[in-house]
Amino acid sequence: MLIDTHAHLDDKAFKDDIKEIIENFKKEGGKLIINPSYDRKSAENALKLSHEYKLVYAALGMHPHDASAADEKFYKFMLNNSHEDKVVAIGEIGLDYYYDNSPRIVQMEVFKRQMEIADKQMLPVIIHSRDAHQDTFKVLESFKGRVTGVMHSYSGSWEMAKRYLDLGYYISLSGPLTFKNSRKLPEVAANVPLDRILVETDSPYLTPVPYRGRRNNPSYVRYVIEKVAEIRGISVEDLMENIEKNTYRLFKKIKKTS
């Protein structure tokens, strides 16, 4: 049983073999994949894939890299489509001060606007935060009790993770946890409460060991799961049972399947 809570199936890296990728995931015990978006076209594609494949769910959002492209038409699109059964979250949204592809003031404005939409639509959020944890935390704190979600592909410290946990957020781990030079993440993986942990691939990026350097895909989420289980000293089965419960608890619109 595999769950990938964050994979960009609409990425051009999968344009020639998306059906094969999803079928292989199913054969390996894959149960569901959440496909977040990063701009209008990606959001439309995520919706389309969720309609085509039963195990694929969508999240609608404008990534901080593309925040400068956000306009009223996009916000209206989010509001008009976020009610769909297979749209389970707003995301990925947040702040990225590493690349600064959009001005920080614009990133902040777009982030807050999308948090307001999540609040109005009663949906969880999928948060991207890179080199911006303090500002990210301030925004999330301002919505405490109204919006919750997941810190996607978490890369911060355990101390920062505890602050997000206190706000009610989940922590999602991905491929970098398996890297030899991973310093902060093993501590995070060891200490996040089992009822607040999620896993993902962020495909086609952040490919875990032993396939680092190649294209990532949802089936490789098993290597993240195995690493978390190893660090915590528990069985893969026990970990996956908790991840499944956490996924359904956070993304309430996902329909359980046998």
* Model confidence pTM above 0.95: yes
Rg of the chain on CA atoms, in Å: 17
Tens digits of residue pLDDT in 123-170: 999 999 999 999 999 999 999 999 999 999 999 999 999 999 999 999
pLDDT tens per residue, the chain (258 residues)? 899 999 999 999 999 999 999 999 999 999 999 999 999 999 999 999 999 999 999 999 999 999 999 999 999 999 999 999 999 999 999 999 999 999 999 999 999 999 999 999 999 999 999 999 999 999 999 999 999 999 999 999 999 999 999 999 999 999 999 999 999 999 999 999 999 999 999 999 999 999 999 999 999 999 999 999 999 999 999 999 999 999 999 999 997 543
**DSSP string covering 168-225:** T-EEEE-GGGGSTT--SHHHHHHHS-GGGEEE---BTSSPPTTSTTSPP-GGGHHHHH
Q: Give a yes or no: residue 127 inside a domain.
A: yes
Q: CATH number for the domain including 70? A: 3.20.20.140
Q: Give a yes or no: residue 222 inside a domain.
A: yes
Q: Give a yes or no: residue 255 inside a domain.
A: no
Domain count within the chain: 1
Domain that holds residue 230: 2-250
Q: Give a yes or no: residue 212 inside a domain.
A: yes
Q: Give a yes or no: residue 144 inside a domain.
A: yes
Q: Give a yes or no: residue 191 inside a domain.
A: yes
